[in-house]
Amino acid sequence: MTKVVVVGNGMAGARTVEEILARGDGFAITMFGEEPYGNYNRILLSNVLSGAEEEDGIFLNSLGWYAENGIDLRAGVRVTRIDTFAKVVHADDGSVTAYDKLVIATGSTPFVPPVKGMHHPRRGFHQGVFAFRTLDDTRAMVRYARDHERAVVIGGGLLGLEAARGLQTHGVEVTLVHAAGHLMNAQLDAQGGGILRRSVERLGITVRLPARTTEILGRDRVEGVRFADGNSVACDMVVVAAGIRPNVALAQASGLPVERGIVVDDQLRVQDEPDVYAVGECVQHRGATYGLVAPLWEQAKVLADHLTGRDPKAAYHGSRTATKLKVAGVDVAAMGIVAPERDDDEFVVFAEPKRGVYKSVVIRDDRIVGATLLGDVHKVGFLMQAFDRGLPLPQERVRLLFDLGGPSEEVAAAELDDSAQVCNCNGVTKGAIAATVHGGVKTLGGVMDATRAGKGCGSCKTLVSQIVEWAAGGAVEEDPSAGWYVPGVPLSKPELMAAIRERGLRSVSSVFDALAGGREDAKSKMGLVSLLRMMWGDEYVDERDARFINDRVHANIQKDGTFSVVPQMKGGCTTPQQLRRIADVAERYALPLVKVTGGQRIDLLGVRKEDLPKVWAELDMPSGYAYGKSFRTVKTCVGADFCRFGLGDSTALGIAIESRFQGLESPGKLKLAVTGCPRNCAEAYVKDLGVVAVEGGRWEIYVGGAAGAHVRKGDLLATVDSPAEVLALTGRFIQYYRESANWLERTYAWVPRVGIEHLRAVLVEDSEGLCAGLDARVQAAVDAYRDPWKEGAEPATPGQFRESLPLTVVGNGARATGPVPAVGSAVAGEST
């Protein structure tokens, strides 16, 4: 058995022992700890001070753990001297303990500046003066704060801020004094420090800067502090949080090499001492000392690898650390250097003092060498990793500080909690996605099918794919179907269209037969219907079973199996007669809701399937197509006829566009708008196609805008002189979109994919000579238009409008439970 003695039972000492135990046995371990406890998480003392955490909650290893692992714990015993020749340690209980290997992990001690009156002549610290390092310190502060009113905290760094905030929760009025010109000056520049100061003051903490404390006032009890400028502040207690110093007293007394800390090499071995190691805040490695836990986790691993012989080559190369402030409501994260140091360092800064937000990044040779986040720290994960590992950075540096548009950054996946809800539509957590991947599903599509993550509004799809990648550890399999138009036919859209044309395939089933080996695929049907109708117009052979229910009954299915009916209301304009009919229908069929939609028309909700034909007949209005992947609406504003700013007759043009292109099927919905001036009341900038009247009788046409799950301003396609030109370009754009976009690809994705320059060239300048063909084909489609609501009079299939749920419940209450619409009334047959 190798005898290992560890001096210091703090975070580094205990972690090293854990790491040693994890690597095997054969070690007889003795641990000395000056504090009379097992090992606890020192970081959480801030929470104990603020009352956010109970003392019991911060212990890392119970006394039982030491016993179970055969560790001889000498709690409350201080080692006084190390004899490296005799290889023994002497302790203040008189014991002498022999070692084969010695680990020194004595941590740090608070730095107490030389201030008059700090120390009581006999009792050490003046009563009422506290340091903030140990559990005992914390308990003493809490006890004292309970029955005193005013505290001064000396030190405006991390520890001081946490102490100040913690004391406040005990009803103490706190003044924070700091000798430097701004708070957290080791981590922040002056501007950031200024913003932090305001955030801290908003919490009710008084800040005094720069203020060097020169004296503690009061003989028997603390009465105040005095500063170098002669001013003073009255108080009953003082907390010193002015920094830490490596605790090297023992090492020094024992003749070990000490500079600022105990000098160690890359194996954490004390210089010139083959059997003595040091770890944690007490060490100085390659000139650096640390005051955070992350480095000591790394050190403990290396030391354990080395001591146990697990990895003789293990070496510690130093750490890059990031600081985070643990004060509720004041988020600070900082890493690396504070400000640019060289001429060619890049410095990206964003400051919004009012909101307490400040962010900066220092970049050198395309690597992050420093970053500060204040008030909004959600990018810290990426910055930290980029800083630590030298990850490549986005060309647009602003993306380092903000998520622009899309969902979060690449590394978000790894950082998210397992319980984090990724898909808010379908309530799918990161854990569920990861479990599916671990269960063997290695394609994005497969995971989406299995969990339905990303199948709601779709805005989380990027994140889902990142999580899949992360969970598969790089072993993501390419979705073979990713490039196919629909999952059940192994062809891209251009290939599929060519094959369909070549073989004259006019129905969905003939496509499956000819191009998918006769294998029908329910998921592919809707997309094929859309494509074939677009391609063949009148010649398309309709198979009703290939349609989605909405397209079978020309209404949008609702959660209870009823449908919504949205009649066409071109450009949002209606008449008293139409309104009267709508009112009558709503009453007659007891519709639970009549609603003005976001698309400038009226929605009749909760219509029973069997009532649909009658509702249409009585409305006597055309379908508004609110249910299809098709041309939907054209929103308009009142425009030149009424509005004092109107520059063009937007209402008339909107109606003309809607009349012309109504109902055309398309890869995704098409929502348009025409607005009478750039004030944009009809929201034309954020439509699939939006038209804006501008000065001089001209019209701007924007395409690829969105304001749904995705928000995007459209790109300017062209500025034209007349409504006729708007109609012509609109038709061309729609047809080109119909022919080349992927199934369900909205224009907000398609336009940026193909590029607005490309669209301008093809559609405006006719660079590829496509325009005449596009114009002709869209004209044919327009000509083939038939209002589907006329179908009601004669059902297209038997039972087209038969109910499909055993009973219909609408809105809050149960409406009409019967008659249960079963045609074949059951006749008891023979039993078997």
Partner 1 sequence: MTAAAVEYRLGPVADLPVGEGRLYTVDGVGVAVFRLRDGSLRAVSAVCPHAGGPIADGLADAEVVICPLHQHVFELATGCSRTGQAPLRVYPVRDDGGELVIGVEQ
Ligand X SMILES: Cc1cc2nc3c(=O)[nH]c(=O)nc-3n(C[C@H](O)[C@H](O)[C@H](O)COP(=O)(O)OP(=O)(O)OC[C@H]3O[C@@H](n4cnc5c(N)ncnc54)[C@H](O)[C@@H]3O)c2cc1C
| Known binding positions for [4Fe-4S] cluster | 637, 643, 677, 681
Cβ-based nearer residue to ligand X, 66 or 789: 66
> Least distance (Å) from ligand SRM to the CB of residue 457?
6
**Tokens 């203040």 identify what position?**
92
Choose the one of ligand SRM, ligand X, partner 1, none that binds residue 157, judging by a C-beta under 5 to 8 angstroms depending on kind.
none
> What does the DSSP 8-state code read for residue 92?
T
From 597, 659, 680, 800, residue interacting with ligand SRM (rule: CB under 6 A): 597
Cβ-based nearer residue to ligand X, 295 or 714: 295
Residue 706 engages ligand SRM in binding (rule: CB under 6 A): yes
Footprint of ligand X on 278-297 (CB under 6 A):
280-281, 291-294, 296
Binding string, 208-247, against ligand X, x = CB under 6 A? Answer: ---------------------------------------x
> Least distance (Å) from ligand SRM to the CB of residue 461?
11
Which amino acids are annotated as binding site, given as ranges? 637, 643, 677, 681
Handedness of CA 557, 560, 562, 566 (dihedral sign): negative
Which amino acids are annotated as binding site for siroheme, given as ranges? 681
Cα 65 to Cα 25, 40, 72: the distances in Å are: 15, 13, 11
Give burial (CB, 10 Å; 0-12/13-18/19+) of 540.
Answer: middle
- The interface region with partner 1, picked from 132-140, 545-553, 582-590, 742-750 by CB under 8 A, is 545-553
Residue 814 engages partner 1 in binding (rule: CB under 8 A): no
Residue 669 engages ligand SRM in binding (rule: CB under 6 A): yes
Cβ-based nearer residue to ligand SRM, 237 or 555: 555
Query: How many residues interact with ligand X (rule CB under 6 A)?
Result: 34
CB 32 within 8 A of CB 9: yes
Choose the one of partner 1, ligand SRM, ligand X, none that binds residue 824, judging by a C-beta under 5 to 8 angstroms depending on kind.
partner 1
> What does the DSSP 8-state code read for residue 606?
E
Give burial (CB, 10 Å; 0-12/13-18/19+) of 324.
Answer: middle
Binding string, 411-450, against ligand SRM, x = CB under 6 A? Answer: ----------------------------------------
> Least distance (Å) from partner 1 to the CB of residue 520?
4
Footprint of ligand X on 124-153 (CB under 6 A):
132-133
Task: Name the closest residue to ligand X (Cβ).
Answer: 10
First vs last Cα of the chain: how many Å apart? 79
Binding string, 30-59, against ligand X, x = CB under 6 A? Answer: --xxxx------xx-xx-------------
Q: Which of 716, 645, 728 is nearest to 681 (CA)?
A: 645
Choose the one of partner 1, ligand X, ligand SRM, none that binds residue 43, judging by a C-beta under 5 to 8 angstroms depending on kind.
ligand X
| Angle separating helix axes 493-503 and 522-536, nearest 10 degrees | 60
CB 237 within 8 A of CB 168: no
Binding string, 443-472, against partner 1, x = CB under 8 A? Answer: ------xxxx--x-----------------
From 126, 170, 601, 608, residue interacting with ligand SRM (rule: CB under 6 A): 601
- The interface region with partner 1, picked from 350-358, 517-525, 594-602, 679-687 by CB under 8 A, is 517-525
**Tokens 């001209």 identify what position?**
698
For the residues of 409-437, what is the DSSP string, one character each?
-TTHHHHS-TT-EEETTTTEEHHHHHHHH
Q: Which of 665, 669, 394 is nearest to 535 (CA)?
A: 665
Task: Count CB atoms within 10 A of the CB of residue 504.
Answer: 10
> Least distance (Å) from ligand X to the CB of residue 130?
12
Query: How many residues interact with ligand SRM (rule CB under 6 A)?
Result: 23
Give the DSSP H/E element, type plus range, for residue 515: helix 508-515
Cβ-based nearer residue to partner 1, 330 or 626: 626
Give the DSSP H/E element, type plus range, for residue 260: none
Give 121's Cβ-side CA count (13 Å radius). Answer: 2
From 599, 628, 663, 723, residue interacting with ligand SRM (rule: CB under 6 A): 599
Choose the one of partner 1, ligand X, ligand SRM, none that binds residue 431, judging by a C-beta under 5 to 8 angstroms depending on kind.
none
Measured between alpha carbons, how far is 570 from 562 in angstroms, rounded to an integer?
25
Binding string, 452-491, against ligand SRM, x = CB under 6 A? Answer: -----x----------------------------------
Footprint of ligand X on 61-90 (CB under 6 A):
78-79
CB 239 within 8 A of CB 154: yes
> Least distance (Å) from ligand SRM to the CB of residue 550?
8
Tokens standing for residue 688? 């699939």
Cα 191 to Cα 58, 182, 195, 357, 374: the distances in Å are: 35, 9, 6, 11, 11
Measured between alpha carbons, how far is 14 from 39 in angstroms, rounded to an integer?
7
Measured between alpha carbons, how far is 155 from 174 in angstroms, rounded to an integer?
12
Instruction: Convert 428-465 to b/e letters by CB count within 10 Å (16 or more is b).
Output: bbbbbbbebbeeebbbbbbbbebbebbbbebbbbbbbb
Cβ-based nearer residue to ligand X, 11 or 591: 11
Choose the one of partner 1, ligand SRM, ligand X, none that binds residue 475, judging by a C-beta under 5 to 8 angstroms depending on kind.
none
Footprint of ligand SRM on 518-577 (CB under 6 A):
556, 558, 564, 566
- The interface region with ligand SRM, picked from 32-40, 530-538, 631-639, 809-817 by CB under 6 A, is 631-639
Choose the one of partner 1, ligand SRM, ligand X, none that binds residue 799, judging by a C-beta under 5 to 8 angstroms depending on kind.
partner 1
CB 250 within 8 A of CB 80: yes
> Least distance (Å) from partner 1 to the CB of residue 508?
9
HEC profile of 30-76: EEEECCCCCEECHHHHHHHHHCCCCHHHHEEECHHHHHHCCCEEEEC
Three-class SS state of 602: strand
Q: Give the pairing of strands 2-7 and 101-104.
A: parallel
> Least distance (Å) from partner 1 to the CB of residue 741?
21
Give the DSSP H/E element, type plus range, for residue 389: helix 380-389
From 312, 483, 799, 811, residue interacting with partner 1 (rule: CB under 8 A): 799
Choose the one of ligand SRM, partner 1, ligand X, none that binds residue 105, judging by a C-beta under 5 to 8 angstroms depending on kind.
ligand X
Cβ-based nearer residue to partner 1, 53 or 610: 610
Task: Give the interface with ligand X as residue ranges (CB under 6 A).
Answer: 7-13, 32-35, 42-43, 45-46, 78-79, 105-108, 132-133, 159, 247, 250, 280-281, 291-294, 296, 326
Task: Give the interface with partner 1 as residue ranges (CB under 8 A).
Answer: 426, 449-452, 455, 509, 519-523, 525-526, 543-546, 548-550, 552, 557, 559-561, 797-799, 802-806, 820-824, 826-832
